[in-house]
Amino acid sequence: MGNEVTGAVREGKERHEGRILLETSELLFRGPHYRLKIAFVEMRAVQAANGELRIDTKDGALAFEVGTVAQKWREKILHPKTRVQKLGVKDGTPVRLLGDFDADFMKELKSSKANVGGVSPSEAQNIFLAIDGKSSLATIAKHARRMKGAEVLWLVYPKGKKEVTENDVLGAGRKSGLKDVKVVGFSPTHTALKFVIPIGKR
């Protein structure tokens, strides 16, 4: 999930009002009669001035009226965080993986110098659980009972699958006594939900 504001976009003499969303790797505009999606890699220049985010692409220039977040969004576009940074993984962070994860994620963890190999359940600060079906949901309670302190449980589930929906994952995590505090676009096909032990129960 990204940032969202109500604003407008200007393209030449045309102006459209609607919702503007800054996602992990793209900028979206959603209006009653006009929609637009621009990937960061398609942006040739990005400037912020007078509450506008001005973007040049191969198809022309656009001005997004986003208000006070213009400069902040410009920085996020030009200097996006890596996936592991968004997931709170730093140099030396103990990480435990449960289930199958893509090779790119494994490479990113290695590049971030996270402590993955040989991490025991008692040492893990960030636990990643791959949710691939209803059976995976049933294991969440078991892992939640093993958590302590400020440990984090990330539930990584596929997007747009009827077999396992976001509500299914949220419900299972909450039923296990955990609190959902953050959502991250894990990949084009998966979403990650962050769960922690409520402060009052640590």
**φ, ψ for residue 158 (rounded to 5)?**
-75, 145
Angle at 36 between CA 35 and CA 42, to 5 degrees: 175
Pick one of 1.10.760.10, 3.40.50.150, 3.40.50.300, 2.130.10.10 as the CATH number of 83-201: 3.40.50.150
pLDDT in tens, 10-27: 999 999 999 999 987 899
pLDDT in tens, 75-134: 999 998 889 998 999 888 889 999 999 999 999 999 988 888 766 666 778 999 999 988
Contact yes or no for 121/153 (Cβ under 8 A): no
Q: What is the pLDDT of residue 121?
A: 67
Q: Give mean pLDDT, residues 68-75.
A: 96
Report the predicted TM-score, pTM, of the whole model to 2 decimal places: 0.71
pLDDT in tens, 164-175: 999 999 999 999
Q: Where are the beta strands (DSSP E) in 31-116?
A: 35-39, 45-49, 52-57, 60-65, 95-98
Q: What is the pLDDT of residue 1?
A: 44
Q: What is the pLDDT of residue 81?
A: 85
Same fold, 3-78 and 83-201: no
CA–CA separation, 29 and 19 (whole Å): 6
Share of the chain above pLDDT 70, in %: 96
**41-44 long-range contacts, CB within 8 A, separation 24+:** 43/77
Distances (CA, A) of 132 to 45, 96, 112, 129, 192: 39, 17, 26, 10, 12
Residue ranges per structural domain of the chain:
3-78, 83-201
pLDDT in tens, 42-53: 999 999 999 999
CATH hierarchy code of domain 3-78: 2.30.29.30
